[in-house]
Amino acid sequence: MTKENVHRVFVNWSSGKDATLALYKLLQDHRYDVERLLTTVNKSNKRINMHGLHVSLLEAQAKAIGIPLDIVYLTEQLDMEIYADLMKQKLKDIQQKGVNTSVFGDIFLEDLKKYREQQLAGIKMKGLFPLWKQSTEKVIREFIDLGFKAIVVSIDDQVLDKSFCGRMIDEKFIQDLPKDIDPCGENGEFHTFCFDGPIFTKPVEFKLAEKIYKTYPAPSGNENNLEEYGFWFQDLVLKNPE
């Protein structure tokens, strides 16, 4: 394939298993050239919001994979309109470098896919969804069978017990999940950090720190009339920070 026919893309990077598997598939496909990973991080605590992962592990992960990491720092109080404007400007900056395709690890959330595509269409970018409409059970088992390793770094305590936070993604984890929980956590039941696998030059070595419980205001009109949602986070610390 000639260089002119290769699509230059960037991956919206969560640090978790689905984004990792999507990246793996692109790296096996000669039609695509992955130029960077793009992540949003809370400016005040330097962590990925729903993962709780500190930026030091994110940076070590990207270095072990060997793809440049691009971070957008977000303030604590940020509404969707301001967020959309910030991301639009960032995407325009990327676009000026000749990259016009944005990659996501989404699997079946139609509303989220539609929102992403609408935002991209506004600046004439395209979205690419390598895992779209695949069986989530197939996705999680493919991830494991390929030799990737990931740890659960956050769980929604409305649907999962605290004990699931900090567990490794393996066959036993899948078997232990309640029957109504998606095996990939596609509905936000849990989030992961991938630290080793076939696209890594070396594993990201870390130590388990404390488990932290945080609450967030629940959206109005939620089906259980809750005032807040609770999440458990497994904090991780690099073993050998540089």
Residues 116-150 have pLDDT tens digits of 999 999 999 999 999 999 999 999 999 999 999 99
pLDDT at 1 over 50: no
- State yes or no: pLDDT of 225 exceeds 80: no
Judge whether 39 and 48 are in contact, CB under 8 Å. Answer: yes
Q: What is the pLDDT of residue 103?
A: 98
* Contact indicator for 129, 102 with CB cutoff of 8 Å: no
Chain mean pLDDT for the chain: 93
* The CATH number of the domain covering residues in 3-238: 3.40.50.620
Angle among Cα 25, 31, 35 to the nearest 5 degrees reads 75
Annotate 157-201 with DSSP letters as a single string.
Answer: TTTS-GGGTT-B-SHHHHHHS-TTS-TT-TTSSEEEEEEESTT-S
Q: What is the pTM of this model?
A: 0.93
Question: Residue range 25-38: average pLDDT?
Answer: 96
Domain segments of the chain as ranges: 3-238
pLDDT digits (tens, 9 = 90+) for 144-188: 999 999 999 999 999 999 999 999 999 999 999 999 999 999 999
Model confidence band, residue 207 (pLDDT cutoffs 50, 70, 90): very high
Report, as an integer, the average pLDDT of 185-205.
97
pLDDT for 76 beyond 80 = no
Instruction: Report which of 52, 57, 68 is spatially closest to residue 240, judged by C-alpha positions.
Output: 57
